[in-house]
């Protein structure tokens, strides 16, 4: 009888699951020092930046907010929106119209500065315009998806540019609508600080959104609408709420864009600009907050970085007789094509080794953090249970196979081993 028990115990191994890597106290200290140094360098550079570059950085922060807005639609919900320039433009004109027409601060009458209260109300109205317009469009468009949704949003963008932005009482026609800043943010440096601060607020809201019930539902809808609906998730309602949050970010970016130039004209919001915004989100990395911010800032600063390269700037200006901003529309599709072919994760995939390490994982150059050697604890557990552990990739592959078996209604690896052990013990008893 003891022989049967020993044989049964030998036949039934227990599957081992990998334990998550946790840095030591020294490892966390090094990471915190690196984060602190990055923060100090960033604050120092912002405090000592030149006025000309302060204006460029303001534009980069505005583009980053637009990128976050588009990432909610493209990256989180998986929908394609080609009419975001209408949301941004409407927010810009609403903010400028309130400052100039409603508050009575017309620059031609000698009003070069607006009050801080009027400025704040104008930004809130721009955000509200983005929420309302996105909600109205979403109630009509979000019941469909794919190419048809892209066509509807594209049509809305063309209608806004060719009709709404032509209303003289809202835009003053070709002359544009003035948007004077308040005295508090009148200098380019102070306005840059405001734009960066609001960018930080948008990133925090985006971070909290993903960790909320609504964010988890939106991600579930992106994975599979049918599966999400089977768990009582209102697919249309959650897509609409995400679309409205995206519109709020777009309206805020429009208001900041208006006050940066202090005048708003319709040609600033063309379809080519909307297409560029989509490309910068793709290059940054769909679904990645930090990657989208970096990609958006790169596209905003690219024309100014070209001007720093003397021979390239001379070649564009003298030989090709082109503006450096036009080169962005050339390099954007090229980078997007390179991203889709070679680096599907975009910039986020390239910086993932650093971001994962700062987040507490091992430093590895593999984009998913796999293929590194197992920890000593994993090896000891495997040795006790008579298993061989080669690397984490094998463990992850085994786990994926078990999930596929569960989806297909088949037993997983551990269940198969247990069943084999029971069958063997029954044979021994018989």
Per-residue pLDDT tens over the stretch 279-294: 999 999 888 899 999 9
For the segment 23-27, the average pLDDT, to the nearest whole number, is 81
Six token digits for residue 355 = 């971001």
Q: What are phi and psi of 264, to 5 degrees?
A: -120, 130
Tell me what pLDDT residue 16 has: 45
Q: Helical H runs in 386-412? A: 392-408
Q: Are 110 and 322 in contact (CB under 8 A)?
A: no
Q: CA 177, CA 85: separation in Å to the nearest integer?
A: 17
Query: What is the number of other CB atoms lying within 10 angstroms of the CB of residue 329?
Result: 13
> How does pLDDT run across 318-364, given as a tens digit for each residue?
777 677 777 788 888 888 888 888 888 888 888 888 888 887 777 77
pTM score > 0.85 for this model? no
> How does pLDDT run across 122-147, given as a tens digit for each residue?
999 999 999 999 998 888 777 777 77
> How does pLDDT run across 65-103, given as a tens digit for each residue?
999 999 999 989 888 888 889 999 999 999 998 988 877
Tell me what pLDDT residue 387 has: 61
Q: Which residue has the tokens 């990256």?
A: 75
> How does pLDDT run across 151-201, given as a tens digit for each residue?
888 888 888 888 888 888 788 877 788 888 988 888 889 999 999 999 999
Residue 380 DSSP SS3: helix
Residue 366: pLDDT band (50, 70, 90) is low
Q: Are 353 and 365 in contact (CB under 8 A)?
A: yes
Tell me what pLDDT residue 375 has: 54
Q: Is 262 left (phi over 0), alpha (psi -120 to 50) or beta?
A: left
Q: CA 258, CA 92: separation in Å to the nearest integer?
A: 5
Q: CA 95, CA 89: separation in Å to the nearest integer?
A: 10
Closest among 186, 189, 165 to 111, alpha carbons compared: 186
Q: Is the pLDDT of residue 221 over 80?
A: yes
> How does pLDDT run across 374-413, given as a tens digit for each residue?
556 666 666 666 665 554 444 444 444 443 444 444 444 4
> How does pLDDT run across 239-271, given as a tens digit for each residue?
889 999 999 999 999 999 999 988 898 888 888
Per-residue buried b or exposed e for 149-187, using 16+ beta carbons within 10 Å of the residue's own CB: bbebbbebbeebbeebbeeeebbbeeebbbbbbbeebee
């Amino acid at each position: 009888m003891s022989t049967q028990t020993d044989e049964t115990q030998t036949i039934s191994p227990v599957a081992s699951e990998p334990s998550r890597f946790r840095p030591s106290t020294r490892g966390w200290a090094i990471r915190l020092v690196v984060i602190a140094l990055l923060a100090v360098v960033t604050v120092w550079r912002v405090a000592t930046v030149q006025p000309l570059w302060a204006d460029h950085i303001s534009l980069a922060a505005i583009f980053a907010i637009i990128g976050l807005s588009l990432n909610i639609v493209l990256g989180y919900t998986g929908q394609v929106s080609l009419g975001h320039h209408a949301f941004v433009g409407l927010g810009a004109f609403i903010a400028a119209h309130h400052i100039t027409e409603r508050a009575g601060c017309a620059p031609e009458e000698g009003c070069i500065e607006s009050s801080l209260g009027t400025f704040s109300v104008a930004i809130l109205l721009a955000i509200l315009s983005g929420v309302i317009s996105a909600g109205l469009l979403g109630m009509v468009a979000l019941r469909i998806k794919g190419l048809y949704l892209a066509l509807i949003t594209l049509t809305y963008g063309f209608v806004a540019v060719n009709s709404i932005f032509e209303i003289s009482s809202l835009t003053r026609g070709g002359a544009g609508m003035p948007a004077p800043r308040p005295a508090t943010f009148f200098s380019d440096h102070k306005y840059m600080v405001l734009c960066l601060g609001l960018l930080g607020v948008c990133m925090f809201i985006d971070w909290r959104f993903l960790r909320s019930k609504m964010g988890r539902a939106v991600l579930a809808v992106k994975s599979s609408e049918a599966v999400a609906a089977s768990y009582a998730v209102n697919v249309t309602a959650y897509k609409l709420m995400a679309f409205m949050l995206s519109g709020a970010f777009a309206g805020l970016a429009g208001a900041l864009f208006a006050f940066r130039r202090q005048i708003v004209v319709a040609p600033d919001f063309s379809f080519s600009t909307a297409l560029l915004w989509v490309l910068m989100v793709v290059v940054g990395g769909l679904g990645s907050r930090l990657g989208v911010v970096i990609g958006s800032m790169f596209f905003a600063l690219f024309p100014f970085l070209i001007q720093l390269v003397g021979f390239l700037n001379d070649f564009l200006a003298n030989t090709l007789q082109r503006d450096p901003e036009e080169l962005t529309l050339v390099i954007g599709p090229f980078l997007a094509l390179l991203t889709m072919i070679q680096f599907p994760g975009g910039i986020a995939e390239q910086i993932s080794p650093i971001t994962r390490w700062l987040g507490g994982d091992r430093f590895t150059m593999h984009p998913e953090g796999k293929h590194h050697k197992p920890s000593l604890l994993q090896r000891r557990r495997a040795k006790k249970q008579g298993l061989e552990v080669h690397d984490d990739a094998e463990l992850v592959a085994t786990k994926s196979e078990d999930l596929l078996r569960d989806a297909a209604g088949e037993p997983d690896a551990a269940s198969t081993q247990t069943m084999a052990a029971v069958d063997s013990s029954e044979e021994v008893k018989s």
